[in-house]
Chain A
Amino acid sequence: MMRVAVIRFPGSNCDADTLRAARNAGADAYYVWHRDRHLQRADAVLLPGGFAFGDYLRAGAIARFSPVMAAVQAHAEAGGPVLGICNGFQVLCEAGLLPGALMRNARLTFASLPVRVRVETDDTPFTAAFERGATFMVPVAHGEGRYVAPPEVLRQLEAEDQVVLRYVGENPNGSVNDIAGVTNTERNVVGIMPHPERAADPLVGESAGAKVFESMIRRARVPLGGTR
């Protein structure tokens, strides 16, 4: 069974939801506390949403110094899959594992609403179960979700198929190029602002988000580490 570490910072608040979605997809998911230095033989790492340290300075700015982040870095450098959702995406950007940054929403207020996103690439460990170009509804809930990057980085992201998700129709935060998620050049680290774990059960209205976690499981069946 695939072992999935869900990293818990003190202010994580989507940890339980993310753990549940990973387990429902068939993963052996477990928590790893931010002070721990080991991922307990994780095949994949999930950084859930929340307010890791209250986000008082800047979302994710303090979390990157947590002891666990060295292990996450090593896991990523070895080619292991890492997904950051919302605050987790912010942490990955602050830690330099993903390009770009997440700024305050253009409208300056917290934005909580369902949005439609398009899967721009199926070539990541977290989107492999989708058809390229498929769209689905998924909630966003963030105050700092406006993706920005320097022009040359943006050009590369677009040219190298590194945009993972894009808002269709309403862009809730003013992200450049409507970007809702990106991957690194090695394609094993992914960050997304929407919350697929909140759209993984027909009871809550949407279930396509479950495919993010199913993708991760499917990818586990091929050898890990430098999958591309």
Chain B
Amino acid sequence: MTVTHAEPFPGDPPVTDELVREHNLNQEEYARIRAMLGRIPTFAELGIFSALWSEHCSYKHSRPILKRFPTHGPRVLQGPGENAGVLRLGEGWAVAFKIESHNHPSAVEPYQGAATGVGGIVRDVFTMGARPIALLNSLRFGPLSDARNRYLFAGVVRGVGNYGNCVGIPTVGGEVDFAPGYSGNPLVNAMCVGLLREDDLIRSAASGVGNILMAVGSRTGRDGIHGASFASEELTQESEARRPQVQVGDPFTEKLLLEASLELIASGHIVAIQDMGAAGLTSSSAEMAARGGVGVEIDVALVPTREAGMTPYEILLSESQERMLVVARKDRVGQVREIARKWELDATPIGRVTDDGMYRVRHGSRTVVEIPGEPLVEDCPVYEPAALEDPAVVALRSARPAQLPPDLADAWRTLLDSPSIASKRWVYEQYDSTVQASTVLGPGGDAGVVAVPGTPLGLAFSTDCNSRYVRLDPFEGGKAAVAEAARNVACTGARPIGITNCLNFGSPERPEVFFQFREACRGIAEACRVLETPVTGGNVSFYNESPTGAVDPTPVIGMVGLIEDARLAVGAHFRATGDSIVVLGATAGHLGASSYWAVVLDTVAGAPPPVDLAGERRLIDFLVAAAEQSLLQSAHDLSDGGLAVGLAEACIGGPYADGPRGAKIDLRRMQNGMSAEAVFCGEDHGRVVISVSPKKRERLLELAGQSGVPAVVVGDVGEKLAKLEVVFADRTVRAGSAELRDIYYSAIPRRMDLTLAQDAAD
């Protein structure tokens, strides 16, 4: 055993058992630390272990499970373990992407919490050498009937928007969901996608003994100290006091940092770059050293600070935003400074790469930290806790609503008025979706599509998770999240090529939560294997618990798809009177865990629909082929609310279309003994509603037959502003397209106006 040497910084408190507990380290972990050092750690060392061995940084409860994801494939240039995953596109182009959570900060300070979440994920992407070309976000809140939830919703949307808008990255998609399980603990997941030349790919492994560590960007302040540890505990009434731990974002500096970083990477003056994100300088420097198998030595007295008198502990753990750590070639420090200065940023040498494998921190001449580098990052204990399904969930799975079904036309309107289903126009009009002038399909459809400038290629993106399914059956729910994301991307004509995931769960130390996590991951892994969409990275967010309990299990899938010719991208909405409406996939009328039960009958119960992955695969292949042959006028995924919602959305059209369309639909052939509710509102997977011009219809049906995809012609697209008419075996349901459009587009603004009215009254 090596004994390392470090001395306390003057004024630091002595390390006691109580202090260790306050740093969220248990006895076993503390014993391991003492053994590793051969002594009691200094206060600064304790802070470092607390951050790096937090759930957020160490993945100590999730690592064994995450290892089961398929992470390889012919397109994978970089899998999990880096700042972002990278997939090859062809012709020298590659796409870097990742999704990450910022749930805890957003729960106490929605605007800054969400803004800094966007900032962090953008840095993760451009530190791979990629220029960010798209943002998506996946947001979940409690019901809008509650004023606090409206405040969180409005603040998060404003924070997400203002940050991305200023940096100049279009937000082209995402999702927003509302359910009681998120009251008090909203989920804020941001995804960023960047484009790079394969040659420009850079990783975050420090290398080259004698090379110089430089801090680039903002100065280090006392904000966000222990953010990573905060994100690794449950939210309580006292969490409000954590507000000072939420960092403050500066998107203007981020834009400068983006340009400076890309220029530094292209210049060849640096060998590695990493964001000082969660756990700040500590995690960035320790991880860079461990990845490169080298040691580092940092003098924290050289780090530019916002205020005098900051201790090593504070400097190491600060999460001040918009800071980068780069490893400059030892003879290029001046050149790095020059590039930074051009972008009005500071670049300061703060340390160097060493050959002894030690993670060493000095303050002037005093060594305050000396830890063996690789064990610091790798030797955190790994847990695989007990997993046991909650018996209440087992019972729920076989339960069904007690109520009699209400009038189906009323139920239809109720579904379209549900904020989870209704248009998110109120949200996405606050996001710049057209900057970079490459947005082919913006928010409001199945997937966002952007063109890759200078090539014929297009990229499609979607984020998805139906947490009701995951809650009622985590394995099927995990599969469903991947399948739906893939289907959304394929609806535009894109072939799904890979995913990133953001796994939001409660405390892994509770068996019923760990069961959800394990099973959902098993479902994701299986779906990714069959659909050949490798997992390229992501983020685990545990401890999403508020005084009312754990959040609904929410493993969000961020899917990327590739279109060979962006001009052939297919939209979600009906386009021409007289086109045939075709439902692809098999309809079995599965109502368990459906929106119909949840929203109309107020019953979250039943088994979610099973996912047939082979069928999903055939459907995806068919959609890609049909789009390539220009057979599709429109294609829209059927998910929440089944045909009732999917058909209505395709008729209603985008918010700027000059009129919603009517349709004549006959579901009798499809009904086959099912109730009208089941055929109209059932949520069987693997289904898409498409429209096709009459002259291409036969070719399309033939291709569907050859592809093994069921296809049923159900009706025709009607005139603008005409009625929607749906014929069932025992009844006909009608609604005006203009009326449905009004319901669909006013559902969220109408509820948010309550806030404005209340503010005015205050």
Interface of A toward B, CB cutoff 8 Å = 10-11, 13-14, 16-17, 20-21, 49-51, 53-56, 109-114, 137, 139, 141, 143, 195, 197-198, 200-201, 203-205
Q: Is B20 an interface residue (CB 8 A)?
A: no
By the criterion CB–CB under 8 Å, are B437 and A197 in contact? yes
* Smallest CB gap from B453: residue in A: A20
Q: What are the residues of chain B within 8 A of A54 when measuring CB–CB? A: 166, 250-253
9 pairs, CB–CB < 8 Å, chain A vs chain B: A54-B251, A55-B166, A112-B430, A112-B433, A141-B434, A143-B162, A143-B165, A201-B437, A204-B440
6 tightest CB-CB pairs across the interface, nearest first? A13-B168, A54-B252, A17-B437, A141-B432, A139-B434, A198-B437
Q: Are A110 and B430 in contact (CB under 8 A)?
A: yes
How far does the Cβ of A139 sit from chain B's closest Cβ, in whole Å?
Answer: 4
Q: Chain A residues with Cβ under 8 A from B167's Cβ?
A: 13
The answer to whether A11 touches B430, judged by C-beta atoms less than 8 angstroms apart, is: no
Looking at the complex, which one of B344, B431, B440, B656 makes contact with A10 (CB distance below 8 Å)? B344
With A14-B168, A112-B431 as given contacts, are A21 and B255 in contact (CB-CB < 8 Å)? no
Nearest CB on A from B753, distance (A):
11
Query: Which residues B413-455 have CB closer than 8 A to chain A?
Result: 428-440, 451, 453
Chain B residue with the shortest CB-CB distance to A196: B437
Whether the Cβ atoms of A110 and B252 lie closer than 8 Å is no
Chain B, Cβ-Cβ closest to A12 = B168
Q: How large is the interface on B (under 10, 10 to 19, 20 to 34, 35 or more residues)?
A: 20 to 34
Within 8 Å CB of B166, what residues of A?
11, 13, 51, 54-55
Contact yes or no, A203 B434, CB < 8 A: no
Does B156 sit within 8 A of A, measured CB to CB? no
Also in contact, A204 and B439, with CB within 8 A (given A110-B162, A113-B656, A141-B165): yes
Chain B residue nearest to A111 in the complex (CB): B429
Is B567 an interface residue, CB under 8 A from the partner?
A: yes
Output the nearest chain B residue to A202 by Cβ-Cβ distance: B567
Task: Flag if B168 contacts A113 (CB, 8 Å).
Answer: no
Interface positions, chain B 321-349, Cβ under 8 Å from A, are: 343-344
In the complex where A10-B256, A13-B167, A54-B250 touch, is A113 in contact with B436 (Cβ < 8 A)?
no
Instruction: Report the bound CA distance from A112 to B164 in whole Å.
Output: 12
CA distance A111 to B165 in the complex (A): 11
Residues in chain B near residue A56, CB distance under 8 A = 252
Given A53-B252, A113-B656: A14 in contact with B165 (beta carbons within 8 A): no
Q: Which residues does chain B contribute within 8 Å of A111, judged by CB atoms?
A: 429-430
Minimal Cβ-Cβ distance residue in A for B454 = A20
**Pairwise interchain contact B429-A113, C-beta atoms closer than 8 A:** yes
Task: Please give me the residue from chain A that is nearest to B131 by CB atom.
Answer: A16
Q: Are B436 and A16 interface neighbours, CB within 8 A?
A: yes
Which residue of A is nearest B451, CB measured?
Answer: A203
Question: Do residues B567 and A203 form an inter-chain contact, with CB atoms below 8 A?
Answer: yes
List the B side residues contacting A201 at CB < 8 Å: 437
Given the contacts A10-B255, A204-B439, A110 and B434 also touching, CB distance less than 8 Å: no
> What residues of B have a CB within 8 angstroms of the CB of A51 in the complex?
165-166, 251-252, 255
* Contact between B256 and A17, CB atoms less than 8 A apart: no
Q: How far is the CA of A55 from the CA of B168 in the complex (A)?
A: 13
**B227 contacts chain A at the CB level, 8 A cutoff:** no
- Known contacts: A110-B430, A112-B431, A141-B432. The answer to whether A204 contacts B251 by CB under 8 A is no
Q: Which residues of the partner chain B approach A112 to less than 8 Å between Cβ atoms?
A: 165, 428-434
The reply to whether B434 and A204 contact each other, CB–CB distance below 8 Å, is yes
B88 within 8 A of A: no
The verdict on A10 contacting B434 (CB below 8 Å), with A112-B429, A203-B566, A204-B440 known, is no
Chain A residues lying within 8 Å of B433, measured Cβ to Cβ, are 112, 141
Residues of chain B within 8 A of A11, CB atoms compared: 166, 252, 255-256
Give Cα A198 to B435, complex, Å: 7
Contact bitstring B469-508, A, C-beta under 8 A = 1, else 0: 0000000000000000000000000000000000000000
Do the beta carbons of A20 and B429 come within 8 Å of each other? no
Given contacts A10-B344, A54-B250, A203-B451, contact A110 B165 (CB under 8 A): yes
CA–CA, A74 and B251, complex, Å: 32
B453 CB → nearest A CB, Å: 8
Per-residue CB proximity of B248-273 to A under 8 Å, as 1/0? 00111101100000000000000000
